[in-house]
Amino acid sequence: MVNGLGYPQYGIQGGDWGGIIAWTYGCNYPEDLLGVHINYMGMRMRDEVPPDERDPNIIRGVGLQGAPLRPTDPDQLRYWKAAEHYWMYEGGYAHINMTRPQSLAYAMSDSPVGLAAWIIEKFRAWSDWDENFETIFSKDELITNVMLYWLTNTFCSAIRIYYESHHHPWTREPGQKMEVPTGIAAFPRDIVPIIRSQAEKYFNVVRFTEFPRGGHFAIFEKAEQMAQDIREFFRPLREAK
């Protein structure tokens, strides 16, 4: 962006993995960024565990490599209870991706029905809808998303990030915080909804918007509201320059 395209500063927006990467990016290249806007945080449990709880001989659950945690603050407890529920009831796909991605990739690259089931199930489980799923996503939108992976045969490369980040995690200094101005869009039906007090431990939060409806795929579910929130966050940062 700076050396290749010539932008002295720019902003980034991220949800899902983009939200996770945004924190690391902002810590490494703060001078390049005008601001960061996220709608998913996904910080690692291992970063929250007190030093006296980091005994490698403590047995931990699947996906909870940093456990145990003993939150006393109500907001922290609510946040980590949501994370626990996600790992226990929704996180099986992630554990496979982290441990055996190649075996799964062959199956998904061989079966369009299997690929569709694997992907669409996530849209159904993680979005905010009442009685009719297709009020949020049409069949055309779902099939288009699946076809992006099927026609390009990129399911394997897409899930590789789980394996690599699990086996080669980025490091974080205790108490490290990203100081780039950050805007957050929080949606109640996300897999782990963002809580402001949790976000402020990692980000320089200057705007926090809690939406009454919406889930993990907010950029699709609430496109107009998301676009407005992104514009309103970045506008004063641009005008200040």
Q: Which residues does the annotation mark as catalytic?
A: 16, 162, 216
Taking the CA atoms of the chain, what radius of gyration do you get in angstroms? Answer: 19
Report the candidate in 20, 51, 74, 15 with the shortest Cα–Cα distance to residue 202: 20
Q: Which two tokens stand for residue 46?
A: 């291992």
**Could you tell me if 35 and 11 are in contact, meaning their C-beta atoms sit under 8 angstroms apart?**
yes
Which residues are 157's β-sheet partners?
A: none
Q: Got the DSSP string for 182-217?
A: EEEEE-TBSSS---HHHHTTTEEEEEEEE-SS-BTT
**Could you tell me if 48 and 65 are in contact, meaning their C-beta atoms sit under 8 angstroms apart?**
no
Q: Which two tokens stand for residue 166?
A: 């699990």
**Could you tell me if 202 and 174 are in contact, meaning their C-beta atoms sit under 8 angstroms apart?**
no
